[in-house]
Chain A
Amino acid sequence: MMKLEAIIQPSRFESVKGALLEIGIEGMTVTEVRGHGRQKGHTEVYRGREYTVDLLPKIKLELVLPDKLVDKVVDTILKTAKTGKIGDGKIFLTRVDEAIRIRNEERGENALQ
């Protein structure tokens, strides 16, 4: 099992979610986050005041996937989240040792379904 964390543009979230649903991925954890990589902040002046966004708004998706689905999900996110501009985000993958469904204590990949 792998845990996938993807940081994406908020504007791409609906498309990514829709595309993941199409390939059968229904469950995910979504968090509104802020951050920046190479894409730095943004400053607007409004009525004499500077409004600086040092950390840009992003969406973080977290999914734990059976190994056989990882490549497909990564491809889907790459295709739908990409705009080609700086700030499109990143995908991180980490190995997961165990998953347990709290309701019935199912374990392993069965707990992911």
Chain B
Amino acid sequence: MNRSFFATALLLLFAAGSSLAATFSNSYTSSKLSSGQVTVANVCVLPAQGQLKRVGMKGKEGMSQESDTWGTQLQSVVENHLKEIGAKITSKGMSSSELETNDQLRQIVLQVQQKFDNVATQMNRKPKDIKKERYTLGDEVALLPCSADSDALAFVEGTGSVLTSGKKAFGMLVAGASHSDASLKVTFVDAKSGDVLAYTFLYNNNGKFEQDPEAAYGKRLGKEFQRIGVGPKPGPGSAGK
């Protein structure tokens, strides 16, 4: 009797847990940034990588068009919140459409992105080590024209799973994922040395991340940016760098 009661309670708890919408975030800052040794007042935001998948009862499938749009929206959200805290966006000439027509720049972006992907292999495993200034992309980041006018480069990555209604219903009934969910990662890298300065991770499963990324991430993103110390440092008679 007792055993079945606990089993039922556990199941109900699990079902309730899986049906709850959740949002959380986490950030890591290098001592270089937290100590004020560097300031991130001018940021070059690299073209965001959005990656959405539709998950249905028959499996998963790609959403290439939606991913592109979502990536662009995420980039705007990040840029807007950086501006809100007083940072200047220096990504002029770096938009996806501009990269499509400039082969040399596109190759440089690919090269720097490749370097970032290499470092991300270790960084995603141990983001805490950002504090110890363990990760660097090296000064190859200076190949990007925007690095000349920037304090930092921002790498924006979004990954999400969009559940079909059938999959959601199945998840609720049989226990399992019953919400679409997505995460957003923003990594700030020193535009001169290539050192990773800060990393913010936001998770959201309220299902609106695709239609309205601002509502899904905006508020929390702004808070995280302030928490990690991105933006110009208020100084006597100066607004940063």
- Note whether A and B form a binding pair: no
